[in-house]
A and B are shown apart, each in its own frame.
Chain A
Amino acid sequence: MSQLAAFIEEKKTLKATRQQDPILSMTHVVYGYPSVQESLDWMERLMREGVDFIEVQFPFSDPVADGPSIVAACHKALEQTLDVDTCLSQLGELAKKYADSRIVLMSYLNPMYRFGLEKLAQRAAEENIQGLILPDLPIEQAATYQAACKQNDIDPVWLVTPVTPPARLEMLASQASGFLYCVARSGVTGHSSHESKVKSTSLDDYLAHIKQHASAPMGVGFGLRERAQIEQLIGKADIAILGSALLDAYNQGGQDAGIKLINDLFN
């Protein structure tokens, strides 16, 4: 079992013994937004408050899978010069200090490709960042990256969606390690003008189908904003991923508003 999958199992068992809901929280932070220090402070606060995971997005100029909230934060962050290696070192400090939580790094392919995917896997492992998410790297083009992750004992996190064809979904589910990122709906992250009009299959059926084929834990993200949505996931998924909603709360009321949202949703 991978380090991440083992961590998720352990946490779920712990939650069960404490009579807590058996679903882990993953909260998203844009590195460098609104400044590097403020983003690091925010990550530290989240980890201190006991979130199970933070998903740190290293900004890219053209984040095509993201909606307006995260796009704006990435562009704001890029008004400074950001460096992947420095980011990894800073995350490594946090990972050391808060050993009860885990950090996964999310970015788009180009900044990571320029940094070097093998170097990325190696450096992430050195800093105890155990999972990597690259939404625009399809598994078909990822042989070198997969090998580098395997060699460094970290997990490449693959995404599946409600419109992924069954055969492909089964292939991705079977290849997943760490956890499988199950996109809850069509579209980009958060609220946006691009809302899908098509009613897809129910979330329950979708998650049940994935579960049949996935040996790795399942995380669900995209569009989670309300407690009822998190409750609906209990027993069907392992991690609820909170991205744009948390960023919107942070933008409106700073760290405290963000923490309040997390408490409302998870506790």
Chain B
Amino acid sequence: MQSENGFYGQYGGSYIPEILFSSQQQILNAFEEAKNDPEFLAELNKQWQQFSGRPTPLTFCANLTEHFGGAQIYLKREDLNHSGAHKMNNVIGQGLLVKRMGKKRVIAETGAGQHGIATALVAARLGLECTIYMGAKDIERQYPNVFWMKQLGATVVPVTTGAQTLRDALDEALRDWSSSHEDSHYLIGTSCGCAPFPEMVAFFQSVIGNEVREQSVAQFGQFPDRLYACVGGGSNACGLFLPFLEDKDVKMVGVEAGGKGLELGEHSIRLSHNLGQPGIAQGFATMFLQDKAGQLQETHSIAAGLDYVGVSPIIAHLTEIGRIDMTYAMDDDVIDACTMLLKKEGIIPALESSHALAGAFKDAPNLPKDCNIVINLSGRGDKDIFNVAKAVQDETFPQFLTDYLAAYPTSHSDQQEQNA
């Protein structure tokens, strides 16, 4: 979606410290050139295909459709990307842009670690130095992802300021960029931040919706009637929705994280029920969860990838003008939706994507049988093994962890013995 000078209605823009002005302009120009350069686009398509496995399928869910007895349910399988999530579409695009700009290093923020891993993967492939900022609390919760980032050669920096989560990681990445802008690129993971990041990330993610346009016509002879996507930062929603923006018959539904309840600090609902307020922070204007004095607040979701205080200015604007309907799903509904997809279709969804499932499952029984809906399955759920095990109260899991730990080689000599 084309912005007006970086703005989407009253949202977006570029509100960054003066020190970053030149670097921001450099990205703006490089992206403008690249997106109109057939060679760049050809390379992008090649990497999407050969490195990430695109196109991803559109999967018809016969069992779920029968179960609900309403709409025909399809899943866009972004979980089948390399790294297991749609994040790959964006990091491949920005990675190629970094090479084009001649920079040697990338910085990224990550919450759950999915964007961190995707960035580390691309950095390894493109020979870039990579520093990932991650809240110290998120590192505790998501250590397996941190492990892989390190194995891939990235430096993972724990952020110990504030609430020690995604928002603080983003602040710290901006601080790094303020001193390293001449040789480093800030590879932001979602369609937030200063211009041109929202537009650029949405551009790279739009491959999702562009594929659905072709696949839907090929598989059921028309565009979908309704699209569903979870909304954290908003990149997978932008990716699915924006290619259908001008097709007014295609209804779009965004699903935010209702968390544990509607009290401030218990959820990440920024765009409905008057819970978020307009604000300007972290480089851009959008709806933020904040107190009356304009201090940004803590958020919660069972899905770390939706646990963010702001939201894409593009989604905020499209919601304001009524093009997108926003709803939310509570943590418990999300686990139920996740379990249902596992049992009915043999697919393991990420908890983030399970929000989109929960939103769609609520509507599906009440929709007519000739209604085709596409749900963006933005990521796979293997990463959520610990959280889902806890949520479904698996009885064997704690014993497994205890036994595993008991057998874990803790000293160097143990490891040598094992390798011998």
Contact = CB atoms under 8 A, between A and B. Distances in A.
Interface of A: 60-68, 71-72, 75, 78, 81-84, 108-115, 135-138, 141, 158-161, 163-165, 168, 183, 186-188, 192-198
B25 to A, nearest CB: 8
27 contacts: A61-B162, A62-B167, A64-B174, A64-B283, A65-B17, A65-B19, A72-B161, A75-B162, A108-B281, A110-B281, A111-B293, A111-B294, A114-B277, A114-B290, A114-B294, A135-B18, A138-B14, A138-B16, A141-B15, A183-B18, A186-B178, A186-B179, A187-B19, A188-B175, A192-B179, A194-B178, A194-B180
A113 B279 contact: yes
A64 B18 contact: no
A163 B22 contact: yes
B367 interface: no
Given A61-B295, A111-B294, A114-B290, A188 B178 contact: yes
B182 interface: yes
Contacts of A113: 279-280, 294
Nearest to A183: B19
Contacts of B176: 194
Given A60-B295, A75-B161, A187-B179, A165 B279 contact: no
B21 interface: yes
Contacts of A61: 162, 295-297
B171 interface: yes
B71 to A, nearest CB: 41
B402 to A, nearest CB: 37
B19 A62 contact: no
Contact-size category for B: 35 or more
B13 interface: yes
A51 to B, nearest CB: 25
B279 A163 contact: no
Contacts of A161: 18-19, 21
Interface in B3-42: 13-19, 21-22, 25
Given A62-B171, A163-B19, 10 more contacts: A60-B281, A75-B162, A112-B294, A135-B18, A161-B19, A186-B19, A187-B179, A196-B179, A198-B182, A198-B183
B282 interface: yes
B19 A110 contact: no
B180 A111 contact: no
A209 to B, nearest CB: 15
Interface in B155-190: 157, 161-162, 167-168, 171, 174-176, 178-183
A195 B279 CA distance: 30
Nearest to B22: A163
B308 to A, nearest CB: 12
Say whether chain B's binding surface is mostly helix, strand, loop, or mixed. Answer: mixed
B292 interface: yes
B293 A62 contact: no
A67 B161 CA distance: 11
B15 A137 contact: yes
A159 B22 CA distance: 14
B281 A109 contact: yes
A194 B133 CA distance: 12
A62 B22 contact: no
Given A61-B295, A62-B296, A78-B295, A164 B279 contact: no
B182 A163 contact: yes
Nearest to A159: B18
A81 B280 CA distance: 20
A186 B18 CA distance: 10
A110 B296 contact: yes
Contact of A110 (B21, B171, B290): B290
A110 B279 contact: yes
Nearest to B14: A138
Contacts of B294: 60, 110-115
B175 A67 contact: yes
B249 to A, nearest CB: 37
B18 A187 contact: no
B156 to A, nearest CB: 14
Nearest to A172: B18
A113 B15 CA distance: 12
A106 to B, nearest CB: 12
Most A-side CB within 10 Å, residue of B13, B161, B281, B292: B281
Contacts of B171: 62-64
Nearest to A71: B161
A95 B19 CA distance: 31
Nearest to B277: A114
Contacts of B161: 68, 71-72, 75
Contacts of B290: 110, 114
Contacts of B19: 65, 161, 163, 183, 186-187
Contacts of A159: 17-18
Contacts of B288: 110
Contacts of B167: 62
Contacts of A78: 295
A186 B292 CA distance: 33
B173 to A, nearest CB: 9
Nearest to B291: A81
Nearest to B25: A165
A165 B22 contact: yes
A82 B291 CA distance: 11
B178 A114 contact: no
A244 B346 CA distance: 56
A39 B335 CA distance: 48
Given A60-B294, A62-B296, A192 B175 contact: yes
Contacts of A183: 18-19
B175 A64 contact: yes
A194 B280 contact: no
Contacts of A114: 277, 279, 290, 292-294
